[in-house]
Structure 1
């Protein structure tokens, strides 16, 4: 069932129009408890029973109870309708920003916060396109083959979280972003030919941004430091940095200067072995011309 169809199920017979709460996300749980409490107090202040409110906003009573009890993440349209029905004078709308953050899994939210603070970001990825470079359709195709049996709602939540991270491209001042992708990831037709072509076109658009450098590592380039896995280094305005590599330091993020230098050296070596940015764009254009 689609998400839009789910919104029409007033009694929660199928997927309800909300998201499940991550039980390990203490901050998120606290936000939802506060939001639910405020919604309940506002509803009671105007003298509306749950049954009447549910009818007014067009959702099921069970969902209203779950949201007011902090057990369910309300969708933006639920909050918009609640603001209108309860005449909340902006009180409910003011909660939307925090609720938007809670929508995304804690691990993804933490990653997005780090990326949002970075002034420089360099990453090498071997087997798949980096999340910041993916189209929604490409991301969906990857989730669908992950053998994780995601529900439609869970999948939409994960895709939305991944796409939300792409706001890094719209920041001002713009951070310097550098990506190195293996040739094989660009040749693999994830999601079919149409999705693959749209993905390549999107890469060309992103690579055209003045603060973005995209390079392709040819399959015939021989051995390089990235063969042991993903490498990424983020630098921040205060001079600090954090890096991680699947093949170093147990794969854990590190801010230790000596370890960061090793990761930076590895990434610099990878960039030197890859095609130049101009050659990389020409390569992607050539791939597009093959179909």
Structure 2
């Protein structure tokens, strides 16, 4: 008879399994969190957050842990599985949304679509439908997305800086009228005192955020967190060194972008290219 499979009792959830392995390896090695931080050169609190499942960390720190524990490739493989867990992405986005609601300032870079905070109902509906959302779920998600705009419209609205890639303005909706309303909304938003809007033209050339939409939140306790996303994944980043690295990339992109005044003129020129609703 073949040998019986050993049941380890470990979690089958990728994120939990990764955190369990981190705790087990550190315990076996006899390391404290502080000692681990001193040896590897990262803030020890990062390892505590990774072991509790609060964050996954990045590939660099995971590779360093693999080397430290003598487990070549093991932790990195578990990390990749955890990163690829779609359930985790939803959890991270829900946490980002909760943090967004209490942010004292926000700044974003948009690659190909207006940020949710500046989307009209027409844009949100067509964009969500393109992902396969239908029926009542579509209505609920559109309502939820539009509801986020209240954050920027209330009396104590936080400062919001947004850099729009020119691709955002070139990727039109199928519904010309809905697209016109979206562009007009961007123009109106640029007039608000708490919103600073930049356009990054194609002529700016290559830069460090070409394929990455990123959002930053300054929280009441002084911390800054970031959320990066593309079409298939998103990640909430709270590790200080990674957030600062993204901020440097963002600052470099802002230096390439048009001024707010020139950006508004740019959008108005784009608006002239959008057909008006035909008269009935």
Shared fold per TM-score greater than 0.5: yes
Q: 2:213 — aligned with what?
A: 230
Matched, 1:145 2:130: yes
TM-superposed CA distance for 1:113, in Å, is 2.1
Higher relative contact order (CA 8 A, sep 6+): 2
TM-superposed CA distance for 1:279, in Å, is 0.7
Matches of residues 121-270 of structure 1 in structure 2 within 5 Å?
121-146=106-131, 148=132, 150-246=133-229, 252-270=235-253
TM-superposed CA distance for 1:185, in Å, is 1.5
1:117 corresponds, among 88, 94, 102, to: 102
2:256 corresponds, among 249, 257, 273, to: 273
Q: 2:268 — aligned with what?
A: 285
Identify the range of structure 1 (193-202 vs 169-178) with the bigger mean alpha-carbon deviation: 169-178
**In structure 2, distance between residues paired with 1:140 and 1:245:** 22
TM-superposed CA distance for 1:143, in Å, is 1.8
Flag structure 2 segments of 5+ consecutive residues without an equivalent.
1-89, 276-280
Cα distance 1:208–1:182, how it changes in 2: closer, same or farther (>3 A)? Answer: same
Taking structure 2 as the reference length, the TM-score comes to 0.61
TM-superposed CA distance for 1:218, in Å, is 0.5
Asked if structure 2 preserves the Cα contact closer than 8 Å seen for 1:233 and 1:263, the reply is no
TM-superposed CA distance for 1:261, in Å, is 1.1
Asked if structure 2 preserves the Cα contact closer than 8 Å seen for 1:123 and 1:180, the reply is yes
Q: 1:86 — aligned with what?
A: none
Cα distance 1:214–1:251, how it changes in 2: closer, same or farther (>3 A)? Answer: same
TM-superposed CA distance for 1:238, in Å, is 1.5
Asked if structure 2 preserves the Cα contact closer than 8 Å seen for 1:137 and 1:191, the reply is no
**In structure 2, distance between residues paired with 1:185 and 1:170:** 22
TM-superposed CA distance for 1:195, in Å, is 1.0
Q: Tell me the alpha carbon deviations over residues 82-106 of structure 1, each in whole angstroms, 9 at most, x when there is no partner.
A: xxxxxxxxxxxxxxxxxxxxxxx97
Asked if structure 2 preserves the Cα contact closer than 8 Å seen for 1:244 and 1:263, the reply is no
**In structure 2, distance between residues paired with 1:263 and 1:200:** 28
Asked if structure 2 preserves the Cα contact closer than 8 Å seen for 1:228 and 1:246, the reply is no
TM-superposed CA distance for 1:142, in Å, is 1.0
The DSSP-based 3-state class of the residue aligned with 1:262 is: helix
The DSSP-based 3-state class of the residue aligned with 1:227 is: coil
Asked if structure 2 preserves the Cα contact closer than 8 Å seen for 1:245 and 1:263, the reply is no
Asked if structure 1 preserves the Cα contact closer than 8 Å seen for 2:92 and 2:235, the reply is no
TM-superposed CA distance for 1:251, in Å, is 5.1
TM-superposed CA distance for 1:198, in Å, is 0.6
**In structure 2, distance between residues paired with 1:224 and 1:151:** 36
TM-superposed CA distance for 1:145, in Å, is 1.9
Flag structure 1 segments of 5+ consecutive residues without an equivalent.
1-104
Cα distance 1:282–1:198, how it changes in 2: closer, same or farther (>3 A)? Answer: same
TM-superposed CA distance for 1:154, in Å, is 0.6
